[in-house]
Amino acid sequence: MKKMATAPLSILVSTIAGTLFAFSTAASADDARIFFASDIHSHTSELATAVTEECVTNDDCDAVALVGDFNFGASYDASEQDVTNMIEPLPKHIPVILSGGNHDVSVAKGGDIPVTGLVSSGSSLYDFWVINDEDFNLFGNDTSAQREALDEYLSRNPGKYLFILCHYPLHSTRDAGRTSAAVNFFNYLNDKGEHRNIVVAWGHNHHLGYDNDVNNVALPSEYPCDASVNRLNNITVCSQTLNFTYLNAGYMTHDSAAVAPAYSIVTIDDAELEVWRSDTQTAKTTLRKNPLGDTNHDYVVNIVDALIIAQEYVGLNPPLFNDDVADVNEDGLINIVDSLVIAQYYVNLVESLPAYNQQQPTTDPQTIEEAQQLIIDAMNP
Ligand SMILES: [Ca+2]
Ligand SMILES: [Ca+2]
């Protein structure tokens, strides 16, 4: 991984920053290993066996993420006790994150399933976002409180991995009433995912194994086929290039008794994401993306990135300048305006990136000192 030259920048930062803000030089990225499954359907002993093997015997896990349908009732009836019975045999030292499926109402009873929204890991590397069954349709609505909350999270945590636990697949809900929400949410995630690291973990279609009905879906028809996608299952749907990882979490039961339970192990670090599937015994990887504005390649957007663009602009040729993500107002140019936009983003004067229609500075800086002064002025309007 590229490392920035810290000494000159630290001097710059101390020069311009004073006591304005706290500062860290890089994300304290560690690695993480997470067990994923869905559709447990009361197969609690199979789940416990799989989790114990993967998270105790073979290696450690940082979390177990289960994406809905915990009992096998005929309808929407899983109780808090069902969830407790499922969790109880699992290794006690590993946190379990749940999202509710169409069989689960524990959340409504104040049980173990968190409400729709952020479940923080406490790590700088990743978080979870739970979408419960009853909230799925809201993600098709631009103005729903749930979607606005997700939007805000993604705006302020652009470099983290975000695992969205959503029982319903986006390509086929098998429920006409949910189709428009699925399409809208798909489009939203594909837009947001261009410069972010989003993983959507889904289930629901366990009885179909690897989603055989994927070609019957209501993804927007204008999307071209593109085989060069970062999807991590053998999905064959023709769609636009996916900008997020679309993870079939696996299932503990299947229509065919001959089919063994399936689960996924996701490993992440500061360079890439790997998904391993128990049924295929294969792994696929995708590179971690730098967020827009992350000009020094540390997956964090902060004042250092603004300073690096300023250095570049006045001709100091900073090492390791990542110009792929430097045009944060998307005007086709990389110049001092981008530096000022990032500085304003850093102090919350700009909500999210990209940001458009930014004011041009009153002067065109020729030296790094002049550029620094513009940055200070931009942060203190
Ligand atoms: Ca950065
Ligand atoms: Ca620009």
pLDDT digits (tens, 9 = 90+) for 145-167: 999 999 999 999 999 999 999 99
74-85 pLDDT, tens per residue? 666 767 888 889
pLDDT at 234: 31
**Separation of CA 97 and ligand 2 centre (Å):** 40
Cβ 293 vs Cβ 7: under 8 Å: no
Check residues 166 and 228 and name the one with the higher pLDDT.
Answer: 166
For the chain, the average pLDDT equals 82
The burial class, CB within 10 Å (0-12 / 13-18 / 19+), for 154 is: buried
This prediction's pTM = 0.86
Report how far residue 172's alpha carbon sits from residue 68's, in angstroms, rounded to the nearest whole number: 16
Torsions phi, psi of 6, nearest 5?
-85, -30
pLDDT at residue 68 above 90?
yes
248 vs 210, higher pLDDT: 248
Residue 359 predicted with pLDDT over 70: yes
The answer to whether 33 touches 62, Cβ cutoff 8 Å, is yes
**Near ion ligand 2, which residues have CB within 5 Å?**
327, 329, 331, 333, 338
Q: For 308-333, what is the mean pLDDT?
A: 95
Nearest ligand to the C-alpha atom of residue 354: 2
Domain 32-287 is in which class? alpha beta
- Return d(Cα 42, Cα 284) in angstroms, integer: 29
Angle at 39 between CA 228 and CA 287, to 5 degrees: 25
Dist. CA 186–CA 244, nearest whole Å: 9
pLDDT in tens, 76-109: 676 788 888 999 999 999 999 999 998 888 777 7
**Residue 366 pLDDT level (bands cut at 50, 70, 90):** very high
What is the DSSP secondary structure assignment for residue 53, as one 8-state letter?
I
- Considering the chain, tell me which residue range(s) the CATH 3.60.21.10 domain(s) occupy: 32-287
CB half-sphere exposure, 85, CA atoms < 13 A: 15
Cα-flanking dihedrals φ and ψ of residue 119, to 5°?
-120, 105
DSSP designation for 323: G
114-143 exposure pattern, b = at least 16 Cβ within 10 A, e = fewer: bebbbbebebbbbbbbbbbbebbbbbbeee
Expressed in angstroms and rounded, the spacing between residue 25 Cα and the centre of ligand 1 is 8
For residues 278 and 281, what is the distance between their CA atoms, to the nearest angstrom? 5
Ligand 1 centroid–CA 326 distance in Å is 10
The string of pLDDT tens digits covering residues 176-211 is: 567 777 778 888 988 899 899 999 998 887 755 444
User: Which pair of structure tokens corresponds to residue 14?
Assistant: 């101390």
**Ligand 2 mean position, distance from CA 239 (Å):** 30
Average pLDDT on 132-153 reads 91
**Residue 138, phi then psi, degrees to nearest 5:** -65, -25
379 Cα: distance to centroid of ligand 1 (angstroms)? 18
